[in-house]
Amino acid sequence: MNLGIIMTLVGGLGLFLYGMKLMSDGLEKAAGAKMRSILEFFTKNRFIGMMVGILFTAIVQSSSATTVMVVSFVNSGLMSLLQAAGVIMGANIGTTVTSQLIAFNLSEIAPLFVMAGVIMVMFCEKNSVKKAGEVVLGFGILFVGLSTMSGAMSTLKESPQIVDMLASLKNHYVAILVGFVITAILQSSSATVGIVLLLATQGLLKLPICFFIILGCNMGSCVSALLASLGGKKDAKRAAWIHFLFNIVGSAIILVFLTVALEPITGIIQRLSGDSVARQVANAHTLIKVCEVIILFPFIQWIVKLTYLIVPGDDKKKGEEEFELVYIGDKAVFSPTTAVVEATRELERMGNMAITNLTRAMNCLVTLDEEELKKVYSMEKNIDFLNHAITDYLVKINQTTLPIDDAKSIGGLFHVVNDIERIGDHAENVADACRTRMEEKVSFSKEAQAELSGMLDAVIKITTYSLDMFSNNNRIHMQEILELEDNIDKMERELQQNHVQRLTRGECTPNAGMLYSDIVSGLERVADHATNIAFSILEEDPEEDMKGAVQA
């Protein structure tokens, strides 16, 4: 085997891997948001979750992408680990679609797909068409790579050394090891199966030995998931272990069947597939995966329980003072398709902290509780941490290629994190006022305290409504928010007038009056920021929709 053949094989493999990646990424960008909605809605039932896993992986052509998305859903609290296990099992079947596509041998028309994809990417201005063009281009490059490798492999038949080496691959365990090592290196079981399929098509591998190489592929595909989860959260590790246990245990069971009944199983595959060797290998791959799911699906609960023994503990219960991200995943489990969901959930958590802190600070004005005041300052530090961490994450995902619908919402999320941070700052301002009141022994009249309490209730209500709109991406509270914003503006003017009248009558001191006025103005600005949060989900300009009422 000369250097030219080696270079051709390596180049063809590179084109194949790049085409698969381009097609997978393009499909995920184009269909990611819609498929995410399907995953959220249809995974309540484990069986339906498995079917959705098959469908999604068949579309994006990557079980790894599906697994990472599912882990992100678990981290975001949108899916339980048990539901995720069903989707992961389905993903293992869905990944066999790649080998079925390869078996069609579309190499002769692959250049047409490449040209069509290039035209769509370079000359179409519509973003959705460009994404579709990436899919078509990736599909074409994949088959060009296959054609290149196939041409090089056809010359391998003329090399006695290569023929003898592959013919000597009769030990089943050595074949499993070969499949494991190649898949661990390439980090793609589909790529390894594609290579096996081409070798079998050229007559360099027999179908029986292909079974065992494919089993090795199944085991090798777990390596990347386990390595990726090492720095992840506990649920990310558990999801990787579900993938690992499913593939290892399933492969071990299939190995027993193959050892006992290799010839009958081979005969069944050949009869089902006809004379096409490529189809025989593709069907063998599919049969192995389907049988693994049929055997292990009834034990899915036990597999999940076992992962809790392997990875004990819980990382989802976070205290208010912990400087950690709860819903945003680690780099190891980053998925563009769920990135915006994670950021939204983290912003919802940050918003609830800001509401809690504002309420606590206002209560301190009455109770003058030193311990509660310390909690206000402590939580404000946590809110500041989340502000920086979420902003950094938004900058990061804004530099990636997101699903089209998600990319449009990133700008709004930057504004939301700023608005929530400002609400947190106003809570700190109230705490400062409370500190001043304690140090200078400033007192508020009962009338002033009642007014502040009433305004706080309205502000908490509008902020809660706004966060609910933002979190659920619906307009259900729009009318209430518009009315509350208008009422709070009127309330602010009335309370300031009442304050001036009390000063005139000598019913409050100038120091108390300054603190009171600042708090009322601050609460009104909190309502403005809350309204901005609600309008972040709208496509139209909030100032036009509010008729200029809302100011940042």
CATH number at residue 391: 1.20.58.220
Residues 298 and 342 in one domain: no
Residues 349 and 306 in one domain: no
Residues 431 and 292 in one domain: no
Where would I find the H helices in 188-297? Answer: 189-201, 207-229, 234-273, 277-296
| pLDDT value for 319 | 45
Helix (H) or strand (E) holding 153: helix 127-156
Nearest to 406 by CA among 344, 468, 480, 361: 344
Distance CA 193, CA 210 (A): 9
Domain encompassing residue 143: 3-310
Over the chain (552 residues), what is each successive 10-residue block's mean pLDDT?
A: 76 84 71 60 72 80 72 70 86 86 79 91 83 86 82 70 70 88 80 85 86 90 72 75 89 92 90 87 92 92 91 61 71 65 88 92 87 91 92 85 70 90 92 87 83 91 91 83 92 88 79 86 93 78 43 39
| pLDDT value for 157 | 64
pTM, two decimal places: 0.68
| pLDDT value for 7 | 86
| pLDDT value for 329 | 65
Asked if residue 315 belongs to a domain, the reply is no
Number of Cβ atoms within 10 Å of the Cβ of 274 = 10
Asked if residue 552 belongs to a domain, the reply is no
Domain boundary pick from 257, 276, 310:
310
Spell out the residues 6+ positions from residue 415 whose beta carbon is closer than 8 angstroms to its own: 532, 536, 552
Which amino acid makes up residue 184?
A
If one counts the domains in the chain, the total is: 2
| pLDDT value for 541 | 45
Residues 193 and 278 in one domain: yes
Cβ–Cβ under 8 Å, residues 143 and 3? no
Residues 302 and 450 in one domain: no
Asked if residue 58 belongs to a domain, the reply is yes
| pLDDT value for 405 | 66
Cβ–Cβ under 8 Å, residues 189 and 220? yes
| pLDDT value for 250 | 92
Residues 85 and 170 in one domain: yes
Asked if residue 318 belongs to a domain, the reply is no
Residues 236 and 350 in one domain: no
Asked if residue 325 belongs to a domain, the reply is no
Residues 541 and 425 in one domain: yes
Asked if residue 322 belongs to a domain, the reply is no
Distance CA 406, CA 336 (A): 9
Cβ–Cβ under 8 Å, residues 79 and 43? yes
Residues 379 and 275 in one domain: no
Residues 253 and 351 in one domain: no
Domain boundary pick from 250, 278, 310:
310
Q: What are phi and psi of 33, to 5 degrees?
A: -65, -40
Residues 260 and 355 in one domain: no
Residues 67 and 191 in one domain: yes
How far apart, in Å, are the Cα atoms of 392 and each of 192, 350, 417, 443? 37, 15, 11, 43
Asked if residue 155 belongs to a domain, the reply is yes
